Amino acid sequence: MDRKLLRDALIKLLSGVLLMGLLLFLPAGTFSYPQGWLLMGILFVPMFIAGLVMLVKSPDLLRSRLNAKEEQTEQKQVIALSGLMFVGAFVLAGLSFRFGWLQLPRWLSFAAAAVFLLGYLLFAEVLRENAWLSRTVEVQENQRVVDTGLYGVVRHPMYAATVLLFLSMPLVLGSLLSFVIMLAYLPIIALRIRNEEQVLEQGLEGYAEYKERVKYRLFPGLW
C-alpha cells in the first residue's frame, strides 16, 4: 500500500469534512442541525469507502482524482465559480436553518438523500468504466476513448451524476434558497463541458468520431 497516497487522501478527506462543517454549522449557530449531519454522512462515508477501494485496486486513478490543479484558463474560472457557488449555498443553508427561511419539509430531505446516493452509485460506475477519469481537463498518456456502458448513452456521465449530487444537496439540507443558488451549477458545468470537448477533440484520437456516435452530452434527448 502506498502510504503517501493514503496520507494525502486522508488529509484531503479530513480537510473537506472540516471545511463543510464550518460552512454549515457556524452559520446555523448550532451543531443541532440534523439535515447538516445527514448531508455530511451521505457525502463523506461513501467517499471514504470509495477512496479505500481505489487505494487498493486503482491507486493511479485515486492519485489523479486527488489532483485538482487545472491548466486550462477556462477551467480555472469554472473552479472559482463552483467554489463561490458551494460556499454561498452551504452558508445560506445554515442561515436558513438558523432563522427559518423557506425551510423544506423533513421528508423531502430524506427523498433527496436517496437521489444523492443514486448519484453516488452512478459516479462509482463511471469510475469503474473509465480508468482515465482525472479531476482536471487533460489528455493522459495512452488514453483512449471509452464508449461502452454509460459512455454509450451520454458523453459525460460523470457530470450527469454530479448534477444529481449537487442539486440534491440543498434539498437534503432543507433549504430552498440554497437550491436556487445551486442551480448555477447548470451553466457552470455547460461551460466546463464545452471547453473539455475542445481539448479532447484536439488531443484524443477518435473523440470526434465518438461525438458523432453519441449525440448527447448529459441527458438523453435533452442536451
Domains of the chain (ranges, CATH numbers): 3-213 (1.20.120.1630)
What is the model's pLDDT at position 70? 59
Query: What are the grid coordinates assigned to 138, written together?
Result: 487533460
In angstroms, the first-to-last Cα distance of the chain is 42
154's grid cell: 451520454
Determine the residue type at 19: L
pLDDT at residue 209 greater than cutoff 90: no
pLDDT tens for residues 166-188?
999 999 999 999 999 999 999 99
Tens digits of per-residue pLDDT, 42-76?
999 988 988 888 888 878 777 777 766 656 666 77
What band does 35 get if pLDDT is binned at 50, 70 and 90? very high
Q: What is the band of 92 on the pLDDT scale with cuts at 50, 70, 90?
A: very high
Whether 137 shows a pLDDT value over 60: the answer reads: no
Global pTM? 0.87
Confidence band for 199, pLDDT divided at 50, 70 and 90: confident
- C-alpha cell recorded at residue 195: 471547453
pLDDT at residue 136 above 60? no
- State the average pLDDT for the chain: 87
pLDDT value at position 111? 97
For residues 201 and 140, the answer to whether their CB atoms sit within 8 Å is no
The predicted pLDDT at position 65 comes to 72
Whether the CB-CB separation of 9 and 62 falls below 8 Å is answered with yes
The band of 99, judged by pLDDT with boundaries at 50, 70 and 90, is very high
